[in-house]
Amino acid sequence: MPEPTALLVSRTPTVIDAVKCISEAIPKLRVEVSTGGEGACNRACGEDVAVVLCDLPSCGDATVTRLLWALVTAQRPCPTLVLSGARNQHQAGAFLRAGAADYLEVPAELPRLAHLLDTLTYRRRAGQAARDPAAGTDQLGGVVAEGLDGLMDQVRRVAPQDTTLLLTGETGTGKTRLARLIHQLSPRRDEPFLVVDCGAVSPNLIESELFGHAKGAFTGADRSRAGKLASAGRGTLLLDEVNSLPLPLQAKLLRVCDERVFEPVGSDKLQPVRARLIAASNADLQDEVAAGHFRSDLFYRLNVVSFYLPGLRERRDAIAPLARNFLGEFANRNRPDVSGCSPEALRALVNYDWPGNVRELRNVVERAVALCQGPLVETLDLPEAIRATGCRALPLPSGPSAGASTLTESREEAELRRIIEALQTNQNNRLRAARELGISRMGLYKKLHKYGLFQPRRGSRPSRAPRANGLGLDGTP
C-alpha cells in the first residue's frame, strides 16, 4: 500500500520548496504537488492522501472552496490546511466553516505548519507501518511480537477475518496492544477501536457501559445513552478482563456472540452488532469455568481462536530488545543525550522476574532515563529490587534426585528441575505447565507422584504437598 501523501495545491516555487523541506523531517510522509483544477479535487479524494494543503494566493478562493466541497461530497475525512500570504479573519472564518482544518499565514507560521503536518498525519503513518507485512514488528506490535514470531504469524493470518478472538496472559503482557495491532491489520482499521475494562467498571454500571440504556431505564437516566457495542460501529471492541463479568451479564454477552444482536438497558428494541469482538482475560478461563465463575458455553464461544501471551520471565531473550526499544523512545522524547544501557544494568534487567511484565519494564526504563546522569543508563539508575538481582540458579528440593551420580539420576534431576521451572513460570497452573513441557496433564500428575510432590490422602481430596522451593504444589489443576 502506498505511503501516506500530503497533497500540496500550489504553483509557487517558494511555497513548494518550503513544504518539501518541512516534510523531510516527517517519516513515512511524501509530498505530491498539484497545480489545481479538477485533477486536484479528484486526487484529494484518493485513499492515500492524508492531508491537503491549499496555497490560497496561487490557486484562488474558488479552487479551495471547490476542493473542500469535493471532500465533503466524497465523505472523505481528510484534513485541509489553507495557506495564505496574509491573515484575513473574515476569509479564515469562511474557510473554517466550509470544513478546513486550519488557516495559516505563510511563511510566518511555517513552524506551526510543520507541527500540524506531523500531528495530522501521525495516525495514518503509524497505521501504514502496522498494515505493511514487511514492517514485521512495528512500534505498536513490537512490544508484543518480540520473541514470539510464531504467534505473530498466526495473528497476521487471523487479523483480516471477523473471527472472535480470546487473548490470555498475565496483567501487563500486552494484550491491549495486541488487540489494537489486530485491529490495525484488519479491514476495520479506519473504524473505532474501543475498550471496555470489565474489571474496572462497577457491576451495577457495566451493563449500561456495554449495551447503553434508554431514557428512564433507572434512577438518574435522564437521557438515552449509546453503549460501547453501538459506539464501536463496524470497528473493534475489546472486552478486557472478561473473566470479571457477572454471570447474568455473561448470558447476555453469549447472545451477542451467537445472534449478533443486543438490547439496551430498559429497551426491548433489538440492535445489531456490527463490531468485531476480542475478549481478553488475565485469568485461566478453563479454571474459572471449573470453579463455576464463568459460563462454559460463553468460554467455548469466545475461544474460537486464542492467543496466549507469556510473561517476560518466560521469554527473557526479549527483555534486552524491549529495554532498548523503550530506552530509544524515551531518550528521543526527553533525553537525546542518553544513548544506551550499560552491560551491568542490562544484565540486571534480564535477571529480574518482572511480575508487572512489559508494563513494568516500560515504567522502569522511563524512570532510568529520567534519572540517568550520563550517556548510559547505569545499575544505580534502576530500582533497588532490580539492582539486587544477580544470576540465579534454580535450587532443587530434597528428594530422589539429590546427590545424583548415575546417568539415570542426572536425567531425573534435569527433569525435576524443568518441571519445577515450568510450574513456577505458570503460577502453578498445571495445564499450562504441561503444555509448556509438551506432555499431557495426566503425564504431569504422574511425574509429580514420582518425585513425591503430590501425595493425596486416602479417601479424601488431594492434600497439600510439601512446599518445594517456596512453591506450593497443591492438588488444584
Note whether 159-216+224-309 and 414-477 share their fold: no
| Residue 224's pLDDT band (cuts 50, 70, 90) | confident
Q: Is the dihedral of CA 362, 367, 368, 369 positive or negative?
A: positive
pLDDT of 461 strictly over 60: no
| Among the ranges given (102-106, 142-146, 465-469), the one the predictor scored with the smallest mean pLDDT | 465-469
- Exposure class string for 269-281: b at 16+ Cβ within 10 A, else e: eebebebbbbbbb
Report CA 225 to chain centroid distance, whole Å.
27
Nearest residue to 167 (alpha-carbon basis) of 151, 152, 178: 178
| Whether 33 contacts 60, CB under 8 Å | no
Q: Output the CATH code of domain 414-477.
A: 1.10.10
What's the pLDDT tens digit per position in 251-289?
999 989 888 888 888 888 888 889 999 999 988 899 999
Domain range list for the chain: 5-131, 159-216+224-309, 313-387, 414-477
Q: Does domain 313-387 have CATH number 3.40.50.300?
A: no
Spatial distance between the Cα atoms of 162 and 152, rounded to a whole number of angstroms = 17
Summarised one tens digit per residue, pLDDT across range 371-421 is: 888 888 888 899 888 887 643 433 344 444 344 446 666 677 777 778 877
CATH number of the 159-216+224-309 domain: 3.40.50.300
Question: Average pLDDT in the 418-430 region?
Answer: 77
Q: Which amino acid does the sequence have at 251? A: A
Determine the topology of domain 5-131 in CATH: Rossmann fold (3.40.50)
Does position 321 have pLDDT exceeding 50, yes or no? yes
Please report which confidence band the pLDDT of residue 237 belongs to, taking 50, 70 and 90 as the band edges: very high
